[in-house]
Structure 1
Amino acid sequence: MMVLAGARLQQSCSTGAKRSPGGKTAKRLLVPQGSIRSRFTMTQDSAKQMAPQSAATDADALALAADEKRNDAQWVEAAELYTAVLKARPDAWPLMVQRGHCLKESGRVREALASYREAEHHAPDDSDLHLQIGHAHKILGDWQEAALAYARAVSLDPGNVDAWRESSSTAEWLVRHPDTDVTADELLSTEFPGALERPDPPAFHQDSAPVLAGSLVSSRVQMVLDVTDLLDYFNSSRTPTGIQRVQLGIVSRAIEESSESRVDLCFAAYDAGDLSWHQVATKGFTELTTLAARGSDTEDPVWVYTRDTLRQHVAHAPAFAFREGALLVNLGNSWGFPDYFRALRAAQHVYGVRYIPFIHDCVPLIVPEHCLLTMVQDYSRWFGAIGLHAHGILCNSENTKRDVLQQLDRLLPGQTLPIHVIRLDGDPRSVAAIPEDASLAALRALRPGEPYCLFVATIESRKDHLLVFQAWLQLVRRHGPSKVPRLVCVGKAGWHSEAALSLLQNAPELQRHVVLLSRVSDQELDALYDQCLFTVYNSHYEGWGLPITEALAHGKVVLTPRHSALAEAGGEAALYFVPQSQPDLQHKLEQLMFDRDFRMAQEAIVRDKGRPRSWSEIKDQTLAAVLELAEHPRQPLAARKTVNLGQQYRTQRLLRTRPDVALALAEAVRDGLSWHPVEEWGVWCRSGAAILRIPLPPAALGTPLRLYLELRSPPVAVTIPVRCHSANAAVAHFDVSLEAGGDNTFMLDLPPIAEGNLLEIELDNGNGIDLPALGLPDPRRIGLGLRSFMLCRLDDYAARLGFLEQQTLQQAST
């Protein structure tokens, strides 16, 4: 065996980790050089060649001068120069952010906040900008405003690790009741506010045994419902939509009805800050979800206090200790949360946790053109890893099941996961009774007794409001406004809504006939369904189509296209039009609007064929399906997918628009919690032992192997012990020496492995390197960095040559 530590196949300059501005403890919160400069065309050399008079007035030269002042820490001068540039470029919001950074560094934090807020007017959906707003509020001591800004940053970009870190840290800050002054310590000892005026307000504490994690009860299965995305959704919204409504339908019945005697049910939320789950008190969670159903005002003091109190208690709860063999069930989604699967692997390794997700659709893979690019990338990365981590899958329709199986078969040919279909044909009225004196503000937009049709969906390109608006406009022009009922659209504006909203804005006669409503409570929505003539639900593709089920439950006719899962949601009760056919849509609309006998006949069909189930039945089916899935034997990673000998596996955060099992496997072999989040170049180890558990194919056994590790060294020279094990037996030991700040590839020759299908590589980083101690604006402690790995047979010269050529090409391109 020979350690070829000196055989560097690639080397490039690196001075350590770089972070986006606004780290948790960093004092200098600057955008990296070039991020703003790249927006302008003038180079520094050309600026210096300009005459002084021209340079004083030229925005490009002023921007370059501002950058130079900023880089030299001349904060006041830089801020003044950015202000001068903004006079010529009033819409250049990135420069407003730069000015804010400089003002903050100079101690003028309130002016910095004003500059950030001015930028927010131009870029309200920029996650990093809200992160900076949170930092400014934190410095000023505006604790709740900072927490809200951080939560907003996370909701806009769930992959923003800095935002997650800051959002989690707000648990240590002051929380105040709207009418009282309560410190955080005092808050933790108080009871829940009893916002719903129940005679016996529940104490706001963790659930008692036997539901608590670690209970000694062994005859019952611990089922942990992951409600992370629900709590995250409530950070910025109140009225549930789609997936949130499904979760609440199942969860509310599970809380009220203990029908499954074999299950100990509890709730938990994932925390990306400490890579663990924290228990969510059932009573507090119930209070929050009940308030969500009964109102829509996100600024309501009772709502804010209830939500923030629950959030603080969850954050203060200790890391959740799963019971051995526990079931972690995610009824919503987890594809937006950083390092979710890494934390899951740790829980699976320690507790044998079995993970069962509910997949509601494959829309980002089937019709990506109707989704945000970041959503497609996040979903693709998540779906690529599902087949390696899930023990079974729940789906909402046969259509979604077909999509899931087709995608999984492409990733893992020959491997199958057990899947149960849980149809979402639930009656919303079976979840909670609607008070008779409910305030129905949504109906005030309509005249008393005015006929209207209802379209419940986010206004986005996938829901294709444009087609419906065009049909409505033609009907108004053909029949006159007095004969055509108004169209009430319930849903906020979303992705690619511009075309539909532009038509609405530029057609006054249509504008008078369309009512847009958002932030509609469940109570108001129930009343809107009850009083409408009929409903329309259009979409390019669906996993189910919950508004169809809800309309049928209210005995209303639904007009919808016949495709994807819409035909399952509507069944024999819905009225269908040819997808994307405006003439057929208009014809069916005319029948429903002007032919009362036709509409009455369709309503009779709805009453006969459209009978939904109660959510209690759906809950019972869901719990039974989870228990059945849990009975399937566990499949370790090596039984699902092994590495391909001779293939290089990169650990970078690569933004792909299709699931990639190689990327998923490269992520899955990084075991344990001694890894930092993945970055664009690769991933840093934390202090301690970072583990790679590489699943080996049969061809790797009984023959010498070569392991290639492409590493990045920290800012100081280090020597890292590398230990290799298989089947609990030592295989080899190496000491890898890295010079400061460079990328190096090491070739490690391994003797034949006689048994075991896992090669465990332990990278011992000791205490790591304290970056702040080196004067770097990064609060982390790091070990070495991993860029890629490759394993091949020692006698596979083609694979070795291919790897060397790839390294040479990579070096030439950098």
Structure 2
Amino acid sequence: MTADAELHSNDADLLLATADSRRDQGAWLQAAQFYARVVSLRPEAWPLKVQEGHCLKEAGRVEAALGRYLDAERQAPEDADLQLQIGHAHKLLGRRREAALAYARAVALDPGNADARQEAQASEPWLEQGAPAATPAPPPRAPASGAPPSLTLPAGPDPAARTTAAAEAAPPAAAPSLLSAAAVSVVLDVSDVLDYFNGARTPTGIQRVQIGIVNQAIAEPPPDGLRLSFAAFNPADLNWHVVEAAGFATLCALSASGSDTEDPEWTEAREALREKVAKAPPMAFAPGALLVNLGNSFGFAEYFRALRLAQERDGVRYVPFVHDCVPLIVPEHCLQTMVQDYSRWFSALGLHAHGLLCNSENTLRDVREQMARLQPELSLPAHVVRLDADPRSVATLSGDAALPALRALRPNERFALFVSTIESRKNHLLVFTAWLQLIRRHGAARVPRLVCVGKPGWHAEAALNLLRNAPELQRHVVLLSRISDLELDALYERCAFTVYNSYYEGWGLPVTEALAHGKVVITPRHSALTEAGGEAALYFTPQSLPELEALLERVMFDDAFRAAQEAVVLEKGRPRGWSAVKDQVFAALRALAQRPPRPLEARASLTLGRSYPVRRRPLARPDLDAAMADMAREGPGWYPLEEWGVWCRGGGGTLRLPVPGEASGTPLRLYLQTHSPPEPLAVNLRCHSRGVTIAQFEVTLQPGQHPTLMLDLPPAELDGPLEVEIDTGEGVDLSRHGPEDTRRVGFGLSGFMLCRLDDHASRLSFLEQQSLTSVLV
């Protein structure tokens, strides 16, 4: 008998045995469907509603699980264990006061229930934070006669009982909207740094910022009441894994002390930490924890889908540190893949973030301007954390004579320093042109050499071609890459002055580093560079060759002017330490923790009558529709997006469609553009909202066909998103059709559209885009 046939059987005993079997196999959504079917045949069997709730909770559908528990409560209002499960579900959803009330009811019903008493005692403070006092429940009595003993099943695994890696042995967190300073759990996501170390050792700007903040957080005790841990994201299992602080600090110290990526000490430390992270179990976040990404996450596939799982399961709140909007402001100076990845990430940022950290007022303005184009009504809380930190608190100079970078220079040679990746955005061409003009005007003997620290990057051909084609310039410019922090520190100490050019910046860390060493900085007057340089830097009109040459001449040849400017730097350019930056980060996080979370479905909804392609599309600009389509893939039952669309995994997946209010109580039609696997596949689709079934459909997909399914939904009160649970049984093993693909897949999806049933214009427009011969009713 097929899974579909089993599910629609009227044999309650067979269905119950199948439900138990699927539960024992960990096929949670399938088990939940079978339990729901048994309940439809035996409405009095409220314990099976509880079992369905357990399975939904294990599948990450905590809100739906709570709905089933509450349904069961109507039939068994005096069951203490059911109140305990309701409390667990509320706690997982971040509803602390509701959880505390449920735990209190459980104790009142069964004073001997040790688990309930422990939870009630731990949650008692939540009742005091403006919540009404718990009303004692009536004395316990025998279960209702309508619940036969044979259907009273043991409770399934409870995620609320997991050990929380981020807060071991810590008391439960308070309600997210009322978090006190003593209840903030912060997880610093260091995925970006570890991913960077897989292919490099010497950190660039954004990695240096993360290392500076994280190292201080490791070295100093956390602020009172703040629970701090570190984690890295693994796209393979859609989970974060604990990162050992000591191992991370050791790796960062080695990255500062050398540049050799084949150094055994470096590779051993890196591999040891990588192995520990890989073996660490998935992190169980403390309820309401702040997941803080101090670096970039736009390069990680499926990051936001994994985040949604954590947000629904544990109430996790995401706080990214936005360093710049460069790929959106000057995309012509970025790799196309970076522009596409950043655009895709920024498209979904407003749908997932609880708040923002920005490195400058300029970056914050850019973020708000770009966000307003996507979601004009959304205003995310944000804090500016300036990166005016002294790099010498991270890498301490200790004897520069043996440092390889200095061997390219003559003893006591006077030189200028330009620290940056050689790429078109930094416009080395302008600086090289100015240097060439000054050499020809004043002679090579008078013009100091220019030391450029940074590896060649994208679109650097113009600058490098000038360097190759001008011999006198080539002799005067030194290119250094793979420079350790110790070597860089020595170069800053020995240089006469620094230059930093760019078309656009989120901050400009080399400006801060130069000022920290008391060096004069010449930089363009734009974006965040005026914040980084403040009153201590020397500015020229952006990309003005005459102004740049004039400033260079004064600094090179007017000793009195340079000395006066150095005095200004010493007076007005002194940065603070990384410890102060770290403290400001934690203060901002504490403030964000006080703000109530806004549910994802409340931030944006689908537009009825609009077609949403579900595939990996190249985006030149942020696109809210692309983010909404991507968000529809809910839970772990999906593979990553491909160019044609996406496969759900064998067993099925869930579509979660945030619908506008106008859709409630209205007949709807849902179109699903499908992709068939290479074998016949029976598909069962269950449409529901908050666990209440609206409609169910069955269809068999044939190989080679890619039909569009039309699902007509009757009027229903949609109390939340419309969810479509897709059951494909075991799915299809693709390895039987080609050994290069070992996945087991089910349903393929390339797009969807939801509209009112009477919206004939939208229906016609959608169907005109499809092959009419491939439409199934």
Q: TM-score, normalised by structure 2?
A: 0.76
Distance in 2, matches of 1:775 and 1:569, equals 56
Alignment partner of 1:394 out of 334, 345, 357 = 357
Q: Deviations over 1:133-158 (max 9, x none)?
A: xxxxxxxxxxxxxxxxxxxxxxxxxx
2:291 is the alignment partner of 1:291: no
Distance in 2, matches of 1:456 and 1:211, equals 40
Secondary structure, aligned partner of 1:356: strand
Q: Map 1:442-453 onto structure 2 (within 5 A).
A: 442-453=405-416
* CA positional deviation for 1:757: 2.8
* CA positional deviation for 1:214: 5.1
Alignment partner of 2:544 out of 561, 578, 581 = 581
2:437 is the alignment partner of 1:474: yes
* CA positional deviation for 1:508: 0.8
Gaps of 5+ in 2: 1-162, 173-181
Q: Is the CA contact (8 Å cut-off) linking 2:396 and 2:486 kept in structure 1?
A: no
Q: Is the CA contact (8 Å cut-off) linking 1:210 and 1:217 kept in structure 2?
A: no
Alignment partner of 2:586 out of 598, 606, 623 = 623
* CA positional deviation for 1:736: 2.0
Distance in 2, matches of 1:775 and 1:651, equals 25
Aligned residues: 604
Distance in 1, matches of 2:552 and 2:396, equals 32
Per the alignment, do residues 455 and 495 of structure 1 end up closer, same or farther by CA in structure 2, a change over 3 Å counting? Answer: same
Q: Deviations over 1:330-375 (max 9, x none)?
A: 0000111111111111111111111111110011111011011111
2:658 is the alignment partner of 1:704: no
Distance in 2, matches of 1:405 and 1:783, equals 40
Q: What's the counterpart of residue 426 of structure 1?
A: 389
Q: Is the CA contact (8 Å cut-off) linking 1:573 and 1:610 kept in structure 2?
A: yes
Q: Map 1:335-346 onto structure 2 (within 5 A).
A: 335-346=298-309
2:328 is the alignment partner of 1:374: no
Alignment partner of 2:315 out of 335, 352, 373 = 352
Secondary structure, aligned partner of 1:646: coil
Alignment partner of 2:606 out of 643, 649, 655 = 643
* CA positional deviation for 1:776: 4.7
Secondary structure, aligned partner of 2:707: strand
Larger relative contact order (Cα-Cα within 8 Å, sequence gap ≥ 6)? 1
Distance in 1, matches of 2:340 and 2:668, equals 34
Q: Map 1:537-548 onto structure 2 (within 5 A).
A: 537-548=500-511
Per the alignment, do residues 807 and 775 of structure 1 end up closer, same or farther by CA in structure 2, a change over 3 Å counting? Answer: closer
* CA positional deviation for 1:437: 6.6
Letter in 1 for 2:546: P
Alignment partner of 1:245 out of 193, 196, 208 = 208
Q: Is the CA contact (8 Å cut-off) linking 2:515 and 2:569 kept in structure 1?
A: yes
* CA positional deviation for 1:213: 5.2
Distance in 2, matches of 1:741 and 1:326, equals 46
Q: What's the counterpart of residue 29 of structure 2?
A: none
Alignment partner of 2:455 out of 492, 511, 523 = 492
Identical aligned pairs, as a percentage? 63
2:283 is the alignment partner of 1:329: no
Letter in 2 for 1:601: A
Alignment partner of 1:735 out of 695, 698, 701 = 698
Q: Map 1:484-563 onto structure 2 (within 5 A).
A: 484-563=447-526
Letter in 2 for 1:367: V
Distance in 2, matches of 1:529 and 1:376, equals 32
Distance in 1, matches of 2:165 and 2:589, equals 18
* CA positional deviation for 1:623: 1.1
Secondary structure, aligned partner of 1:699: helix
Letter in 2 for 1:231: L
Q: Is the CA contact (8 Å cut-off) linking 1:250 and 1:619 kept in structure 2?
A: yes
* CA positional deviation for 1:433: 3.1
Q: What's the counterpart of residue 92 of structure 2?
A: none
Letter in 2 for 1:265: L
2:171 is the alignment partner of 1:217: yes
RMSD: 1.7
Letter in 2 for 1:723: R
Q: Map 1:613-762 onto structure 2 (within 5 A).
A: 613-762=576-725
Q: What's the counterpart of residue 117 of structure 1?
A: none
Secondary structure, aligned partner of 2:769: helix
Q: What's the counterpart of residue 568 of structure 2?
A: 605
Distance in 2, matches of 1:742 and 1:777, equals 22
Alignment partner of 1:779 out of 733, 742, 746 = 742
Q: What's the counterpart of residue 553 of structure 2?
A: 590
Distance in 2, matches of 1:708 and 1:755, equals 18
Distance in 2, matches of 1:439 and 1:383, equals 45
* CA positional deviation for 1:578: 1.1
Q: Is the CA contact (8 Å cut-off) linking 2:165 and 2:283 kept in structure 1?
A: no
Q: Is the CA contact (8 Å cut-off) linking 2:166 and 2:187 kept in structure 1?
A: no
* CA positional deviation for 1:262: 2.0
* CA positional deviation for 1:809: 9.4
Distance in 2, matches of 1:685 and 1:481, equals 66
Letter in 2 for 1:522: D
Q: Map 1:451-470 onto structure 2 (within 5 A).
A: 451-470=414-433
Secondary structure, aligned partner of 1:658: coil
Secondary structure, aligned partner of 2:304: helix
Q: Is the CA contact (8 Å cut-off) linking 2:167 and 2:227 kept in structure 1?
A: no
Letter in 2 for 1:501: L
Q: What's the counterpart of residue 796 of structure 1?
A: 759
Per the alignment, do residues 214 and 743 of structure 1 end up closer, same or farther by CA in structure 2, a change over 3 Å counting? Answer: farther
2:228 is the alignment partner of 1:265: yes
* CA positional deviation for 1:273: 1.3
Distance in 1, matches of 2:337 and 2:756, equals 38
Q: TM-score, normalised by structure 1?
A: 0.73
Secondary structure, aligned partner of 1:760: strand
Per the alignment, do residues 626 and 375 of structure 1 end up closer, same or farther by CA in structure 2, a change over 3 Å counting? Answer: same
